[in-house]
Structure 1
Amino acid sequence: MQIGNSVVAVTGAASGIGRALAATFAAGGARVVLGDIDTAGLAATAESIGAAGGDVRTLRVDAASAADLEAMIATAERDFGPIDVFVANAGIIGGPGLGTEADWDRILEVNLRAHIRAATLLVPTWQQRGHGHFVAVASAAGLLTQIGAAGYAVTKHAAVGFAEWLAVTYGDDGIGVTCVCPMGVDTPLLTAIRESDDADARVAADSVVSAGAVVTAQQVAELTVAAVADGSFLVLPHPEVRDMAIGKITDPDRWIHGMRRYQRSLRG
């Protein structure tokens, strides 16, 4: 995938990883459409990219809304041309613990079904064109788990599984897929759960920041854009996640007992 002069759409672009991805793609010569429900943050992202010479468009997008995704795609096609790279970045931590029915409804919509809806809208066109690239910003929780937040753990596993399925099913049609699985990233999302009044949420945050270094959103963005350019599937900003995942698969009972010990130490 050639980044220069490509058309890129990024959901959740108002802050964090989404903002960094949008800026990094733009710096590489891409024309970028930014979507988010946070319109003030979206304007700040656009202003920053524009000041650096980037060409961007913005619109309010709830990634869980098929109509909003259709509007995002239409905006890109009207102003720039067909989308070459779609970045499904928008995500939420969801309710702590087991969560409520409403918590599950919302997190499934944002963290999983948003990816499915975007792919459903884009894949037929990409098949006709013979190229396109889907970026799923998931989490190391999708390869391991997330202490303290069942909804987050389950939906990130599902996002990884969906990305794998896309790569297998449509790779021969020229469609690339990149799946991004970091641990701790210095974003407003991590800050919010670290400062939460809920004990389970704080344990979830502690499990992330204690497991490895907290990297910057820019580091994640640079690795991701490089992977898109190379056509690589898995992005691990924390390389140690690979060994953790191997250990989990090799001896799941040992891994589960180890995670329980880790959880006890955090709660203690």
Structure 2
Amino acid sequence: MARSTCSSPTAGLSRKGQETASDADWDVSWRVHVMSHVYAARALVPGMLARGSGYLINTASAAGLLASLNSMPYGVTKNAAVALAEHLAIQYGDRGVRVSVLCPQSVQTGMTTPGPSAARVDGVLQPGEVARMVIEAMAEERFLILSHPQVQEYMQRKATNRERWLSGMRRLRDRIYGGAASG
């Protein structure tokens, strides 16, 4: 089956802070992490539907499934990116358009900076390793692409006992960042 593939032009950017982050930081996070996928879908889905085939790959983050401890704008908008991919898969999956969402933890990119990071707890992967995982997931037409298998376990913990998971995330925040995160 011939497919066209779309990957988001930008995987992301991180603006530190919580709800008190500037409106500009919230706005750029929303535009990069969510609207870039909306624009790609608007441009590509009509042609894919006309052909009866296509493949959209959205890049989100494990933060979109779990949380981002030091950047609320990042975590919230990456969560929206995952939800957008789910909606696309529901709307068009039975019409020949396949959708996957890549949710890596830490990958060695321009966003990788020195210092404490919850995302690096399970290791930092090289881009080539993640690319191989994406190709394998596409061959399997798997929706959720996790570069770090531990994320699946974390998601199960979150779904099984949300209160315990929240408490554990607070302990992780304190361990990595040295106490309650500030805005």
Q: Same fold (TM over 0.5)?
A: yes
Q: AA paired with 1:180?
A: L
Query: 1:120 aligns to what?
Result: 42
Higher RCO (C-alpha under 8 Å, 6+ residues apart): 2
The superposition leaves residues 129-152 of structure 1 with CA deviations (integer Å, 9 ceiling, x where unpaired) of 100110011111011001100011
Work out the number of aligned pairs and report it.
176
Aligned letter for 2:65? L
User: What is the CA-CA distance between 1:94 and the residue it aligns to?
Assistant: 3.2
Q: Is the 8 A contact 2:48 2:54 kept in 1?
A: yes
Distance 1:265 1:162 in 2: 32
From 155, 160, 169, give the equivalent of 1:250.
160
Q: CA deviation at 1:179?
A: 0.7
Is 1:85 equivalent to 2:18 in the alignment?
Answer: no
TM-score normalised by L of structure 1? 0.63
* Per-residue deviation, 1:89: 4.6
Partner of 1:172: 94
1:59-208 pair list within 5 angstroms? 84-98=4-18, 99-191=21-113, 194=114, 202-203=115-116, 206-208=117-119
Partner Cα separation in structure 2 for residue 140 and residue 252 of structure 1: 17
Q: Using the alignment, how far apart are the partners of 1:146 and 1:89 within structure 2?
A: 21
| Identical amino acids, percent of aligned pairs | 36
Provide the rounded CA distance (Å) in 2 between the counterparts of 1:124 and 1:254.
43
RMSD of the TM alignment (CA)?
1.4
- Given that 1:94 and 1:104 are in contact with CA atoms closer than 8 Å, whether structure 2 keeps it comes out as no
What TM-score results when the alignment is normalised by the length of structure 2?
0.91
Task: Give the secondary structure class of the aligned counterpart of 1:187.
Answer: coil
How much does 1:248 deviate?
0.5
Deviation (angstroms), 1:231: 1.5
Larger of the two Rg values belongs to structure: 1
1:267 is displaced (CA, Å) by 2.6
Q: List alignment gaps of at least 5 residues for structure 2.
A: 179-183
